[in-house]
Structure 1
Amino acid sequence: MGIVSKQASISAALSYTGVLIGFVNVTLLMTQWFTEEQFGLRETLLSVAVFSSQIAHLGTFRSLVKFAPFFNREGNNDNGLLAIGLIVPFIGFLVVGLLMVLFKPLIISKYIDESPLFVEYFWFVFPLLFFFMYSNVFESYLQSRANTAFSVFIRTVFNRLVTTALLVLYYFQFIDFFWFIVFFIFSYALNILLFILYLVKRNEFNLRLNKQLFNKRVRRVYYNYSSFSILSGASSVLINRIDALMISSLLGLASTAIYGNALYLAMLIHIPGESISRISLPLISRSWKKKRIGEIESIYKKTSVTQFLLGGAVFILVWASLDNFYTIQGKDYYLGKWVFFIIALAKLINLLFGANGHIINVSKYYRFDTTTAIILGVLTVTTNLLFIPIWGIEGAAIATASTIVVFNLIRFIFVYIKLKIQPFSVKTILVLFILAIAFGVNEFLPFWKNIYFDTVYRSLILGVLIALPAYFLRVSDDINAFIEKHLGLLKK
């Protein structure tokens, strides 16, 4: 089965459609219609919700995928896996919510000076956390059943279209900013409703727990894995989200807005990896269950070269026209240019190392990833505390990027030592060579005064420089197969 399968290609198409919508929402509409403080508040609320949910779900996100092959034995019957996935996070939500209430004075003291607007909206964190967490639970459940297209549509397309509608209502003054935040939070509740209706329609909404299957021994293994997943997942999110939270605390919401805008642009590079990752994770889980290391190595290599090629192409195309884009945005958002470059390179390196994290997390070595993630989480906080006061938002980018690179190096070395597999090949060198040439050519292309024409002509030239050699050198069998399949359909 090719990595760029039907599900992966649909997910990728939906992801990029969602990226386009999100691109308009975040980098064009919000930057123009919101003040920098309002934009920064939304980013901060989301960062708090994302990080808190990684603790509150108590390892459910990963456990649903890890144990799906064990529970899914009778067609659509999951033997109560979904029921477990709904009950456990609720307990976690109550615990995290209580801790946030108890530590509210401390939290407020960290934000009151630089980000008073966040203090004003502090209580909005709780419903956002609840709905965001359960939306992700259902998404993980669908992923565990190798059904990613619908969940990707809801999260990346539908949810962002709702945000677009709310922004239009805000612009025409049908709602104020307060109600925008309220409706934005409840858009995640709408996600949950649609997930439930979808599962009911497919006869997959089963809440009856098979107690014989989920016996004492299985419960011990499940909860043990989940407990380690809490720390690993929270640390991973901490690495990717603590920068925005610390910028809000140390520099203010306006700086968070500039950083968040650059970060969103950098996230474009990771979309190919997300689409392929959703498909590769259940495949790796099944292969590990059957002890087929050869299959895992094949997936490892395919994900690496495919992600690196696609992500590298996106990086070069965005970097080539970044100045043009900042000209359109105006305000102070151009100050995030080097934040984009630093984070984008780290994201690209993350794609290059392929599915190392998935391989560790579904294997018997998952405890190692947890321990490493905790150490690197502490390193991220420390480096942000040191670098932000010195270099501002660029310091936060350097801290986060450094941690991402170190994290991947450690994972890569560990997987190689334990399983004797690695993701690189001659094709990796070919992709690196193709991308390096395209990056270099961009530096010599003349600039045109018309920024729109300049963007189009750069994109066309660089796109051809990457696509043609990549296709004819067959650096990614999956991409070639995908192209040839659709070219064949066009000929018919």
Structure 2
Amino acid sequence: MSVVARQSFKYSIIGYLGFLIGMVSAVFIFPSNLDYYGKLRYILPAAQMYMTVVVFGLSFSNVYFFGRLKEVNKQQNFLSWSLLLVTINFVFFTAIFFAVFYFFPSLKENSKLWSLRKVIVPLILVLSLSSVFNKYISNFKRIVVPNIFENLFPKIANLLAFGLFVFVDVESISFVVFFAIFLLSFFGYIFYTNKLEKIQLDFSTDYLKQNHFWKEVFSYSFYGFLGNLGSVLALNISSYMISEYLSFEENGVYATILSIVQLISIPAMGLYNISAPIIRKHIAEKTIKDLDIYYKKTSLSLFFLGLVLFSCIAVGYPYLTEFMPKAGKSLLEAQPLIWVIGFALLFELATGFNGHIISMSKYYRFNIYVMLFLAVLTTVLNFYFIHKTSLGILGISISYAISLTAFNLAKIAFNYYKFKVSPFTIEMLYSIILSTLAISVAIILPDFSHHFINLVYKPALVLVIFFFGNHFMKIYPLEKYLNKDFFKSILKF
């Protein structure tokens, strides 16, 4: 089995483990205090949004320029400068942050950002430095261990902080533990990077000055910053605005549903990271036909698996809320969010790594523009649904779906126009038909009196229909992966 498939599979396993921790927490722990859970789910998105400013696209430059730097053994030199510049950026950001609130004290009154500054500000630095290491490690086609830090550790941080708050009832201590988990992951990044390639700090400027290489780096990093800003804003602005304009409790409900639906995107995250160097190679060597084949295969894989998972979620969610005694009613009333967000994420899976094709080509600036458009559109729509309608978090989910779909449509059109590549295949249509059949049969069949039985048998029925339907319709070659060699290969790190 190829390193791509092996690493992607392991990445998915870690993702599902993280999901399992999050799911168990969402069912048995977080519903006991959705207000505090909403607060925790505000802190991390807020830190991630401001982290984008501090990193300034340098993490992406460590991927984009890695091949060239590796040829002259200057990758460590560039990594060293990236870490130093991120630290300097953080110092300037912190000074500006406190200056704004000092000169405009009225902002402190209703600002949740200011009230939580003691945990958010230091978290920004830790996340910024970690993101540089995360992208640097991806150049070695190793994404499993970093995924533990990126996916599992935040779940553990939420769980431990929440537990301390509920049982000890001391918020400050819970925040210290929350931050400590991310600090631990940062040291984990350093250790794993050093294991892959011994870290040798090098702050010489010879290569950066050669042929004005630093200008090229600044240009790419700047556009990477704009694109990442748009992406991070689009992904996190909803949690930020729900907390600021609605309530922490509603943010807790929204975050719980979003974490459940995002189960369908876990395999995609691993494949996107491991595919970045492959895409870059195809574009550099101009093997566009091979890129198109790879594009279609991966998009079908992600969409098919996503449909299977979404179908199971859709038929099982109502029964899952029965196991959330304190928040079950609120979460059941928010069930329409499952469908709205789910459809948007499924379409994104069907479009594959369209953004990566653009970002790894000379047209990367287009990706930046549509990212910013996505962020602006999402923010504007969020304001509209919050202040002009009574839809609440349902309106936020509709805003998210509209923006994400428009975003992906723009990238699909651009890639087809410039590269003549497309992610869509007829097998995707067959997958939709099979999914519709599976969901319809599961919903129509009668319920048992015990909710646990319904929670197990209806998703299980969906899986059975998918398995036999796929066998006869030949949509996805499951037999290619579910064999002895496959399971042996995944044990190799």
When normalised by structure 2's length, the TM-score is 0.91
Decide which of 352, 355, 361 is 1:354's aligned counterpart: 352
Deviation at 1:329, TM superposition (A): 1.5
- Classify 1:261/1:160 alpha carbon distance in 2 versus 1 (closer, same or farther; 3 Å): closer
- Classify 1:489/1:220 alpha carbon distance in 2 versus 1 (closer, same or farther; 3 Å): closer
SS at match of 1:123: helix
The amino acid that maps onto 2:290 is: E
Report 1:185-264 matches (<5 A). Answer: 185-208=179-202, 211-214=205-208, 215-264=210-259
CA contact (8 A) 1:131 1:186 kept: no
CA contact (8 A) 1:135 1:189 kept: no
Aligned residues between the structures: 483
SS at match of 1:483: coil
Task: Please give the alpha-carbon distance, in whole angstroms, between the structure 2 residues aligned to 1:244 and 1:368.
Answer: 27
Aligned-residue RMSD, C-alpha: 2.6
Deviation at 1:159, TM superposition (A): 4.9
- Classify 1:333/1:118 alpha carbon distance in 2 versus 1 (closer, same or farther; 3 Å): farther
CA contact (8 A) 1:111 1:248 kept: no
Decide which of 37, 48, 51 is 1:50's aligned counterpart: 48
Please say which of residues 1-10 and 185-194 is displaced more in the overlay. Answer: 1-10
CA contact (8 A) 1:313 1:466 kept: yes
Task: Please give the alpha-carbon distance, in whole angstroms, between the structure 2 residues aligned to 1:440 and 1:256.
Answer: 31
Q: Which residue number in structure 1 is paired with residue 332 of structure 2?
A: 334
1:92-115: CA deviations, max 9, x gaps? 3233323332333799867855xx
Q: Which residue number in structure 2 is paired with residue 91 of structure 1?
A: 88
Q: Which residue number in structure 2 is paired with residue 343 of structure 1?
A: 341
Please say which of residues 457-466 and 196-205 is displaced more in the overlay. Answer: 196-205
SS at match of 1:103: helix
Please say which of residues 216-225 and 313-322 is displaced more in the overlay. Answer: 216-225
Deviation at 1:167, TM superposition (A): 4.4
The amino acid that maps onto 1:483 is: L
The amino acid that maps onto 2:348 is: N
Deviation at 1:386, TM superposition (A): 0.7
SS at match of 1:146: coil
Q: Identify unmatched segments of 5+ residues in structure 2.
A: none
Decide which of 100, 103, 106 is 1:103's aligned counterpart: 100
1:390-443: CA deviations, max 9, x gaps? 111111111111000000000000000000110111222222222222122222
Decide which of 61, 64, 80 is 1:63's aligned counterpart: 61
SS at match of 1:65: helix
CA contact (8 A) 1:380 1:399 kept: yes
Report 1:69-80 matches (<5 A). Answer: 69-73=67-71, 78-80=75-77
Q: Identify unmatched segments of 5+ residues in structure 1.
A: none
The amino acid that maps onto 1:376 is: L
Deviation at 1:274, TM superposition (A): 0.8
SS at match of 1:80: helix
CA contact (8 A) 2:15 2:266 kept: yes
SS at match of 2:449: coil
Task: Please give the alpha-carbon distance, in whole angstroms, between the structure 2 residues aligned to 1:348 and 1:223.
Answer: 35
Kindly indicate whether residue 315 of structure 2 is the aligned counterpart of residue 317 of structure 1: no
The amino acid that maps onto 2:445 is: L
Decide which of 368, 375, 378 is 1:380's aligned counterpart: 378
Of all paired residues, the percent bearing the same amino acid is: 24
- Classify 1:251/1:453 alpha carbon distance in 2 versus 1 (closer, same or farther; 3 Å): same
CA contact (8 A) 1:79 1:209 kept: no
Decide which of 285, 291, 296 is 1:290's aligned counterpart: 285
Task: Please give the alpha-carbon distance, in whole angstroms, between the structure 2 residues aligned to 1:348 and 1:108.
Answer: 44
Task: Please give the alpha-carbon distance, in whole angstroms, between the structure 2 residues aligned to 1:18 and 1:182.
Answer: 22
SS at match of 2:253: helix
SS at match of 2:198: coil
